[in-house]
Each structure stands twice: as C-alpha cells, then as structure tokens.
Structure 1
Amino acid sequence: MNKPDFKPMRRRAALAFLALLGMGAAAPAFAAYPDQPIKLVIGFPPGGGGDLYGRLIANELGKSLGQTIVVDNRTGAGGNIAADLVAKARPDGYTLLLAMSGNLAVAPATRPQSIPYKVPDDFAYVGMILEAPHGLFVAQASRFKTARELLDAARTQKLSFASTGAGAAAHMGMEMVVKEAGIQMLHVPYRGSGPAITDMIGGQVDSFFATASPLISQVRQGQIRLLAITGDKRNPAIPDVPTFKELGVNVPVTQWYGLVAPAGTPEPVVRKLSEHLSRVLATPEVRDAIRRDAATERDLGTAAFRKFILEDIERYKGALTPELLKEISTR
C-alpha cells in the first residue's frame, strides 16, 4: 500500500499561513495611511473656481488626516490630462484627482474614443464634494430682463449664446436648455469666460451660459446679470434668481466636483479618505466657503458617487444630436 503524500497538503497549509501573515501585515499598513504627503491633481490653472475648491479641500482634508496634501495643477484638454495622469498613477492612495463633470461625465459621454482613460473602470471613487449650478448670463444693459423674455424672443429671432468651449459641461447644459425649450440659438465658443463676457457686454453675443459660482461676485457688483440657473430649487445665496425648472425647462445638470483615486487603490484607504472627506464637508468653515457663491456641498460616499457619475454620463448622452456631435468633433 502506497504511503499518502502529505507534501501538497503541507504546501497549501504553508501558503495559507503566509497569506494570513500578509493580511496581518497589511492591516497596520492601511491603519498608518497616510504616512507621507498626498498629491491632489487639479486640471485647472491656479486661481480658477475649480482650483479654489480643490485647495480648500486639500487644506481641510489634510488637517483631518494629519498629513499634508499638495496641489499639483495639470491643465489642458478640459481637465482630461489631469484625469489621465491619475488614472495611470500608482494605486496607493497618494495620488488623487479633483474630478469634475467635464472630465468624468461630459468627456466620456461625448467623446469616449478620444480620451485615454475609461469611466468608471479606471478610478476608485472617494466621494463627491459639491455641486454648482450653471447659469444664463446677460450684460447689465441687455434688453432681456428675465430668462422667459430671452427664451420667448429666441422663437422668432436669431439669438446667440457664448460658452467656454464646444463640448464643455456648460455648452452641453445650454444645449439641453435649447432642446427642452424648443428653440434655436447660435453657439459661440470662447477660450475662457473673460473674452466671452467682454464680447457679451460689447453686444457681440446675446448671452453667456457658464457655471454660476465663479461669476456671482460680478453679478453682485452689477457688472452682469444672472437670469436663471439649473437645478431643482432656488439657491439661498441668490434667492431672486429662478431655476429653469420653474420656467418649465427641466435641465438637471450642474457643475460638480469630487475626489477619485486610481483604480486598484486599497479599499481601506478609499474608505478612510471618504470618511474624512465627509467630516470635512460637515464643518461650518467648509460649508460656508462652498455656499458663499451659490454652490452646495454634496456628501456622496464611494458607491453613491460612482452611481451619480454614471447617471450624469447618461444625462449628457441624452442631449447629443448628430449636429451637436459634429460640432464637438470639429473643435
């Protein structure tokens, strides 16, 4: 009778023991996270709206975690360069992205074949930070005093709207307004809000559609007027400004920001980041800073944030027409 060979059994037992040791070693490693500075990649130049929100979160989240978070501005391609850099970074929790509707929702919806990363597969979702409404602006001297006046005039007149780029989040938002209102307006893309506002004040374009929060100070100073905003309800910071929804034009898209990490980042690390982000968003200092200019903090955790992004991609896809796709592809 042959003797049983216990070598395979001993080998499996040894491997199982080593695996348990590995798990035991990993737990303290995750518990110690972060033990070195974290990099937050932002796809905007310093001083812009997204950069200001990113630096606010970097500063406050760093305090909560007890570790420095260094901002790294990587501009270009509407934030897609920054997104690609983080998608390809080492998944150890030390490289994060200030994600936004442009690079994680609009780009995947409008030009998925031309961006070098995939949503949702290439990222781990830490949490959402805030939403800011898009708004329809006119010059202070404009003959249009209300959004209803402008939309009604667009039924019989050739009116135009400026944006900061074909296929950008705000451009897509205004295309939704046009579609829902059953009107036509000429889109005039610009490279930045400064030139667009200058031409609007000068009468070269009739209106400007953009994320509202960075321009609220100019509205308060009487330089431009805000006729209506996207979103479900009026914003407490600008209570006199109606929503498009009130006008019967349901446009649900907003400009949002959140934090993501490279796919494969350990789940305990993502969970720890998400928990601390929630704590930061609950502080009066951060809430007041976000709400001051008509944005709203949104504490969506990992799974809820990922779901929100996928739904937002579908919202933008729903606005696409052959003509719009052609315009976007030729810019």
Structure 2
Amino acid sequence: MSTLMQCARAAAAMLLGLVCGAAHGAWPERPVRLVVSSGAGGTADILARSLAEKLTAALGQPFIVENKPGAGGHLGAAQVARAPADGYVFLVSGSPTHSVGPHLYKNLTYDPMHDVPPVAMVAVAPNLLVVDTELPVQSVAQLVALAKQRPGELTYSSAGSGTSGHLAGAMLQSMANIRIKHVPYKTGPEAVTAVLAGNVSMTFFTMPSVLPQVQAGKLRALAVTSSTRTALAPSVPTIAEAGYPGFEALAWYGLFAPRNTPREATDRLSAEIKRIVQHPDMKEKLIRLGAEPHYLNAEQLEAYVRVESPKWKALIDASGAESD
C-alpha cells in the first residue's frame, strides 16, 4: 500500500472519529435546569439567574432557573436527588441543605452530601442584623439586654429553618445566653416583610434585601455576621466587635448535582463557573448582592463542608435549635 493511500485512510479514519464524536455531541446538547432551593427574589435566586445568563451564552444551551422553596431548602434538594443523573439538572443551594440541614432535619429522605454532591462553590455572604425601628434598641448590647428583660418575647424571622439567618440567631442566643423566638418563612422577601410590618422583632438577612430598607429608615441595622466589617456598610460593627469574639455566620452558595452525574458535565460546569466568577462583571453583580466571589472546585467544596458541618452540629446541639 502506498504511503499516499495510507495517509488517505488514516485521514478518513480520523474524520470518521470526529463525525462519530459529533454525533454523540458534547455536553450540553439540550436545556439545563438549575433548581434553586429558595424562593424567587432571594440571593440564591438572583445568583442562579446571573449564572444562568452567563452559562447560556458560554455553552450554547438555555440554563433554566426553577424555584423550589420549602423545608429550609430540602424540598428542592430532594427533588434534585431524585432527578436523572444525566447532566441536565443541578441544584443551586449551600449551607442550609449541606452544612446545616442534616443536623436540624432528622428524617430527611436523602443524604445531601451523598445524593447531591458538590460541583463548585460560587460565593459567600454575611448577613445583616436588622430590627424593627419601633424596637427600643440601638446596638447589639441593648438588644441583648432587652432580650434578657423579656425572655422569649422577642422574635426573629428567617427564610426557613437551617438558613444562615436562622443559625445566626441561634448562635447569638447561645453566645449571649438569651432566648428569642425563631419564626421561619417560606421565602426571604416574606421574612423581611414581616419585620417591616412589625410582625417580628428582627431578622438576620443578606445585605441587598435589607440595606435599602435601612438606608430608607424603615429598618435599623445593628451588626453584620461576618468576622470583619463589610465594605457595603463599613459603619456597621460586627457582632464579634459587640462583645462576642469568634462570632461568624456566613451564607455560602454553590452548585450540586445528582450522584453519578457524568464527570464531563460536572467538570465543564465547574470550569465555566470558575471563569465566570472571576469576570469583573460577575464580581460586580455579586458585590451588589452583598456577596463575594469565592470559587472552590468539587473536592475543595466537599472538604469545606466536612469542616463546616460539625461546627453547626455543635451549635445546634448546644442551643437546642429545631427545624420548627
């Protein structure tokens, strides 16, 4: 056989391989669902929609956001756990379902870390402690003093049991030795509206949801739940500064997938998320959300959760926090 014919056959074989590969297609070949474990309008929802827009442009298929709130995020997480592991459904969630929920909800029908393992972390965010302007307190110290005078009478709202806002309240109760009643709502906007309406005394919530209300004089900000002050509200002290060193309660957000989802899909999605969160436009969007870009790959996020989860378990056990 001549060298020319050998080259021709080799080229034909290579072309056939390329054609066959194209026939199978590279992920994604059809629309991808992003199930958000919280309601519309919250930080996770806005984050998911921003990611969906970027991923649609980058990967050439629509990324469709679907909200599934309830049970501290576990309704959405359980739905994804039961979904086909084909690379076309992912969960947008974080600390409520993977660091906290397993210790609050004793009868979960799935194991979050086993059945919906990590793909990537996207961002972290502190909460802002805000109170009803009718509440006669101007600082954390005054709030603690009032709670001690009126044990069990003060209330705080959250977007559901197991959310960072819920656990921030539990942490403050534990560290300050006070009792305030947790009032969970189905969505974040409902939790904030409850404080605005005077139905609850306070909430620990993400900055974009409450900072405009603070600036308008409709809510009063007492502290942030991060270990350092935030550039979004530099004049607001941390709870640690208010006399509770070591206090830190952050919300974090990431993507998760049904167990055994093809690595082609999860690896490519993770790589795209890494690229997206480093883009100046996305960084700006995250800052407006009161969050900071913080990418971790699947292995790094799993390691983070393995460290974070026992911390919340210890707090839940010590404080007696329940899923309500």
CA distance in 1, matches of 2:190, 2:53: 31
Residue in 1 that maps onto 2:213: 218
Residue in 1 that maps onto 2:262: 266
Residue 224 (structure 1) shift: 0.5
Of 68, 73, 76, 1:74 maps to: 68
Kept in 2, the 8 Å contact 1:109–1:314? The answer is no
> TM (normalized to structure 1)?
0.81
Kept in 2, the 8 Å contact 1:124–1:264? The answer is no
Residue in 2 that maps onto 1:34: 28
Of 132, 138, 143, 2:136 maps to: 143
Alignment CA distance shift 1:308-1:31 (3 Å): farther
Number of residue-to-residue matches in the alignment: 303
Deviating more after overlay: 303-312 vs 211-220: 211-220
CA distance in 1, matches of 2:228, 2:23: 45
Residue 155 (structure 1) shift: 4.2
CA distance in 2, matches of 1:275, 1:31: 19
Equivalent positions of 1:11-50 (< 5 A) are: 32-50=26-44
Alignment CA distance shift 1:26-1:217 (3 Å): farther
Q: Secondary structure at the match of 2:78?
A: helix
Kept in 2, the 8 Å contact 1:30–1:269? The answer is no
CA distance in 2, matches of 1:281, 1:178: 35
CA distance in 2, matches of 1:37, 1:201: 39
Q: Secondary structure at the match of 2:34?
A: strand
Q: Secondary structure at the match of 2:117?
A: strand
Matched, 1:104 2:101: no
Kept in 2, the 8 Å contact 1:216–1:293? The answer is no
1:54 maps to a residue whose letter is A
2:74 maps to a residue whose letter is N
CA distance in 2, matches of 1:44, 1:176: 22
1:170 maps to a residue whose letter is G
Of 214, 222, 227, 2:222 maps to: 227
Residue in 2 that maps onto 1:86: 80
Q: Secondary structure at the match of 2:138?
A: coil
2:256 maps to a residue whose letter is V
CA distance in 1, matches of 2:44, 2:219: 21
Alignment CA distance shift 1:94-1:222 (3 Å): same
Q: Once the two structures are superposed, what CA deviation does each residue of 1:189-243 show, in whole Å capped at 9, x if it has no partner?
A: 1435666556645666443233344222212222101111111211111111111
Kept in 2, the 8 Å contact 1:162–1:189? The answer is yes
Q: Secondary structure at the match of 1:102?
A: helix
Q: Secondary structure at the match of 1:144?
A: coil
1:225 maps to a residue whose letter is R
Runs (5+) with no aligned partner, structure 1: 1-23
Residue in 1 that maps onto 2:9: none
Alignment CA distance shift 1:29-1:156 (3 Å): farther
Matched, 1:61 2:55: yes
Q: Secondary structure at the match of 2:124?
A: strand
Alignment CA distance shift 1:25-1:240 (3 Å): farther
Residue in 1 that maps onto 2:4: none
CA distance in 2, matches of 1:67, 1:141: 50
CA RMSD for the aligned pairs?
A: 2.8
Residue in 2 that maps onto 1:172: 167
Residue in 1 that maps onto 2:307: 311
Kept in 1, the 8 Å contact 2:44–2:93? The answer is no
CA distance in 1, matches of 2:66, 2:193: 30
CA distance in 1, matches of 2:24, 2:234: 45
Residue in 2 that maps onto 1:18: none
Deviating more after overlay: 130-139 vs 164-173: 164-173
CA distance in 1, matches of 2:319, 2:173: 13
Kept in 1, the 8 Å contact 2:166–2:182? The answer is no
Residue 311 (structure 1) shift: 2.2
1:82 maps to a residue whose letter is G
CA distance in 2, matches of 1:63, 1:193: 29
Alignment CA distance shift 1:30-1:53 (3 Å): farther
Identity among equivalent pairs (%): 28
Residue 167 (structure 1) shift: 4.6
Runs (5+) with no aligned partner, structure 2: 1-17
